[in-house]
Amino acid sequence: MKHLKPTLLILLLCTGCFHNLKTDKTYSNNSIGIKVEFPEIWSLSTTRQNSHDMFIKYFPKNSKKDELPLFFGMKKNQKIFVRALIEKTDISVMKYFRSLHSIIINEGKRKILSAKYSEKTDTIVWVFKIKKDNKSYLFKEYITKSNNNLIKLAFWSTPFYMKKNEKDIKSVFNNTLLKNEKLWVSRFKNIENNRTLKNIGFVKITEKMSEAYCLDTFKRVFWEVKGDTNSVYILGALPFGRKDLYPFKNEIEMAFEKSKYFVCDLNRSPENSEELQKYFLRGRIKGKKSIKDYISQDLYKMLTKSVKSYGLPVSSFRRFKPWLLSINLSQVDMRRNGYSDSYSATKYFLRRSGKKQISELYTASDYINQIMRYDGKQLLKNTLNSLNHKQSDKELLLDFWNCGDLTEMEDIIFKIKKAKIKYNKLYRDDYSYINSSIADKIKPYLKKNGDCFVVLGVEHFMGKSSIINILKNNNFNIIRK
């Protein structure tokens, strides 16, 4: 059994290498029994005759070769690539993959990030990573059989562009048809959502999937602001997290350890929880009224349906005003999907603050008053609309935060903000005012005797009014780490 060496496939990652080749949206091969439809125009190399010189070697003259390429292709943006391979074999998909896995382990050039098998469709989907010339390349491949044809369809690119083109990749896999006797069927459609799909036990996951998508050029959401005799370290953080995110990279951990002062947006330490709860009591409904008296009948029906989907009684939320109910439901949804504000960066560092001097940039009163400025009913409505759809946003946000990709995070965060509070003039003015106020509170720490470590929500570091831009405009020396 012969395999194309992945290092050779990396050569396909070149700009302009598909000039003068056939351009089509579909690939069809009735004899093998495969049809592949692409969402955009792709350049395909399918034979020795229409192949660029560098791909001729992959189309052997001798058709009796064990493994043959069906095609190599590239999207027109020249950033992401695809290839399909065919092999005649009578062994099972799982047996084939076991043999392939053994070769990979001995070879030591590929890191398998995930591998799953569907008994229902007898298909394997796996993701692996290759490093070449100090750059990482990510491959996502589906392996299945049609009669005695073993078919392998894979996409690859730099990890960042794999993530950027996720929708296109999923569309191609979903629309790929394989021949089953006289019928054309989809074997790849929604395979990763298939409940029968299971991890392949002998495959060891070598690293976190989120880290696999990072470009080497990205930096962390972490800055050092130089004072006259000290430094202020600023970390842009998410309001939720998972236990496996910690500890942080050494540079962040070391900056925290040597800092004398710890500053966070809102002090949520156990000592301050009583004060915070006092302000949250303003969101509780007193007397005989309930949430039903605060919202429309349609909104109440939405609420009832959502709460029941969590297996919770509606009565457990009846005494919350709309704005507090929105906060509570968001937290319940996070926990259900494996995330928690208990694992936020702020709480992580608070638990380890020891004898550091702790300060907060705004109080519980400021926090609650800010929320209460917005329409609670609209906030609740948008929260209910988003409960079943935000998991992908959270996962993407966590991926891009791990990579330090502020541009992608900004698209997601402001899409959420816009949905919740209509991103109107009120919010824009608040955003600019709050960042300016926070920057003013950070400045005195640049004159302290000792370093300072600051944790703030990542949204404060986006756009023209970001805290970093404000500090830069005040001529502070800032280094992104």
Range with the poorest average pLDDT among 26-40, 312-326, 375-389 = 375-389
Rounded-to-integer distance, Cα 349 and Cα 257, Å: 10
Chain center to CA of 353: 29
Q: Quick check: 209 pLDDT over 50? A: no
339 C-beta neighbours (distance < 10 Å), count: 21
* Last residue within a domain, chosen from 177, 212, 247: 212
Average pLDDT over residues 284-288: 85
Asked if residue 232 and residue 379 are part of one domain, the reply reads: yes
Residue type, position 349, single letter: F
d(CA 415, CA 173): 28
Question: Within this chain, do residues 347 and 403 fall inside the same structural domain, yes or no?
Answer: yes
**Number of folded domains that form the chain:** 2
Amino acid at 75: K
Same-domain status, 193 and 252: no
pLDDT at 90: 85
Please state, for a pLDDT cut of 70, what percent of the chain lies above it. 81
Confidence label for 452 from pLDDT (cuts 50, 70 and 90):
very high
Asked whether residue 205 carries a pLDDT value surpassing 70, the answer given is: no
Would the pTM count as exceeding 0.75? Answer: no
- Same domain assignment for residues 35 and 170: yes
Q: CA distances (Å), 138 to each of 11, 225, 273, in order?
A: 14, 35, 44
Residue 1 lies in a domain: no
Pick the last residue of a domain from 151, 181, 212: 212
The answer to whether position 64 is within a domain reads yes
- Six token digits for residue 98: 């076991």
In this structure, the answer to whether residues 350 and 449 fall within a common structural domain is yes
Regarding whether 450 and 314 lie in a shared domain, the answer is yes
Tokens of 340: 């928690």
Residue 37 lies in a domain: yes
**pLDDT in the model for residue 7:** 27
Q: Specify if 450 maps to a domain.
A: yes
- State whether 425 and 347 are in the same domain: yes
Q: Do 246 and 177 have their domain in common? A: no
Is residue 238 located within the same domain as residue 89?
no
- State which of 212, 241, 257 marks the end of a domain: 212
Indicate the pLDDT class of residue 54, thresholds 50, 70 and 90.
low
Rounded CA-CA distance 442/57 in Å is 61
Rg (the chain; Cα; Å)? 27
Q: Which two tokens stand for residue 404?
A: 């330090």
Please give the Cα distance from 46 to 28 (Å, whole number). Answer: 11
Which residue in 71, 69, 68 sits closest to 25, CA to CA? Answer: 71
Give tens-digit pLDDT for 379-426: 788 777 766 554 556 666 777 787 787 877 776 766 544 444 444 444
Tell me, yes or no, whether 408 lies in a domain: yes
At residue 210, the pLDDT reads 47
Domain of 430, in residue numbers: 222-480
pLDDT digits (tens, 9 = 90+) for 227-283: 989 999 999 998 888 887 888 889 999 999 999 999 998 776 666 667 667 777 777
- What is the pLDDT, as a whole number, of residue 414? 64
* Residue 217 covered by a domain: no
pLDDT of residue 473: 93
CATH number where 102 lies: 3.40.1000.10
pLDDT at 165 over 60: yes
On average, the pLDDT of the chain sits at: 79
Distance CA(146)–CA(458), nearest Å, equals 48
